Structure 1
Amino acid sequence: MWWIFLWLSVASLECASKDLINICMDAKHHKSKPGKEDDLHGQCTPWKDNACCAVNTTVEAHKNVSYLYDFNWNHCGIMSEKCKAHFIQDTCFYECSPNLGPWIQQADSSWRKERILDVPLCQEDCEKWWEDCKGDVTCKDNWHKGWNWTSNPRLNRCPVDAKCKNFTEYFPQPSDLCEKIWSNSYKYTTYKRGSGRCMQLWFQGVENPNVRVTKYYADLRNQAMVSLPAPLLLLLTLVLALSSWGGLRSDGGLWLSF
């Protein structure tokens, strides 16, 4: 009978892989499921046919200071428009993309339960971002944490001992910018746009090129799981089943809900 359980294991993992292709992460402003949003604003419009963001989120993404995260791009003076355009696009990608499944991780945070880690960015997107921002000024290389939030109204300010310097002082190379600025949410790659191996922050037209990329990495993950020894595969299947039926308690026991 073991082969029946093995087959069920493979089938379960294949379903899990498919689920990674079109999902929204559990975070502060994300919808629970992706769907059509005809009126997405500005640079977020490429996701209008299938988005994890709502219209008001995309409007706020274009403001210098928005209610999304109370984050001020101009913490070391006025950010240039060409640089800010990349951060707006980064925000649209993060808030709107339903194609980040393979890189979603659990997050221990008060404002989100999940985050992304090591999303492979296309070389052109990362290098253009760095090129257009290298003349701008900041005071930190990790914008996720370490800010002074004591101002009223609440806005991010530079830490007392931090100095405003040119972007290239904090991010000497394009890879430093893309990987450090959001705690390794992104990973710099040498893959080119259209390769099917890297995610594009920017795209135009009806077809979202990131769908193909997500499927590639979801399939890789699935293949890696299938190649595991049968006992471990069965154990993973049990974990998946428990997740579907109820779950594991924090004390190591299990609870079921039907």
Structure 2
Amino acid sequence: MPWKLTPLLLFLGWMTSVCSARARTDLLNVCMDAKHHKAEPGPEDKLHNQCTPWKKNACCSARVSQELHKDTSSLYNFTWDHCGKMEPACQRHFIQDNCLYECSPNLGPWIQECPNGTTCRTFETYFPTPAALCEGLWSHSYKLSNYSRGSGRCIQMWFDPALGNPNEEVARFYALALTAEARPQGIRPLLLCLALMLSLWLHD
């Protein structure tokens, strides 16, 4: 009689494999769970200066975007000139970097929690070369590549919002890549289910 369970076991195995291999849409359009981020992305019409590309869909508030542009910001009790006067072009780069970090809803595929009990070390200890920085900064989520700006494979710190946010496509590409990596595991429950049914059928 165990063979009568075959349709149910097949259905359960199929559902398990489908659920475990679904697209990682949970990585798209999300904000980090961090100190100054909003809980969910949404419109922010009054984002300041270099943070304006994210005004249609932002994880930062207008207040945060204004603080990012100050020489001494209350956000992290940090001053741009802590090592001497910073060049305007360099400061502009770091403000864009901070706007991306605080405002972008397209970083989901790379969000990693900091491990508990980690030891504070110098920057050079962790990242002795540019390649080490690129590949090690977010728990090896990035890979050094020859892709260029506009390739659809690189997050852009600065873009023309009138042309749309190119980072949406990049996040979608890498979320789908993470889904593809998970697919081989997704078929295991189905195979296990089929093996169980065969065993029940043979012992009937």
State the TM-score bracket (shorter-chain normalisation). 0.7 to 0.9
Q: d(CA) in 1 for partners of 2:38 and 2:176?
A: 25
Structure 1 length normalisation: TM-score?
0.60
Letter in 1 for 2:15: W
Identity %: 46
| Pairs within 5 Å for 1:88-127 | 88-108=95-115
1:7 positional shift: 3.1
1:226 positional shift: 1.2
- 1:14 aligned to 2:22? yes
| Pairs within 5 Å for 1:1-258 | 1-11=9-19, 13-14=21-22, 17-108=24-115, 142=123, 175=131, 179=134, 184-185=137-138, 187=142, 188-206=144-162, 207-228=164-185, 230-231=187-188
Q: Helix, strand or coil for the counterpart of 1:106?
A: coil
Structure with the higher strand share, 1 or 2: 1
| 8 A Cα contact 2:16 2:190, kept in partner | no
Q: Which structure has the bigger radius of gyration?
A: 2
Query: What does the per-residue CA deviation read over 1:121-145, in whole Å, with 9 as the maximum and x for residues that have no partner?
Result: xxxxxxxxxxxxxxxxxxx9729x9
Q: d(CA) in 1 for partners of 2:26 and 2:180?
A: 15
Letter in 2 for 1:82: A
| 8 A Cα contact 1:21 1:214, kept in partner | yes
Q: Would you identify which runs of 4 or more consecutive aligned residues in structure 1 move more than 6 Å?
A: none
Q: Give the gaps of 5 or more residues in structure 2.
A: 1-8, 192-204
1:10 positional shift: 2.2
Query: What does the per-residue CA deviation read over 1:94-130, in whole Å, with 9 as the maximum and x for residues that have no partner?
Result: 00000011111122479xxxxxxxxxxxxxxxxxxxx
| Relative contact order higher in (CA < 8 Å, ≥ 6 apart) | 2
Root mean square deviation, CA, Å: 3.0
Query: What does the per-residue CA deviation read over 1:35-84, in whole Å, with 9 as the maximum and x for residues that have no partner?
Result: 00000001000000000000000000011211111122212210000000
Change in 2 beyond 3 A, CA 1:233/1:101: farther
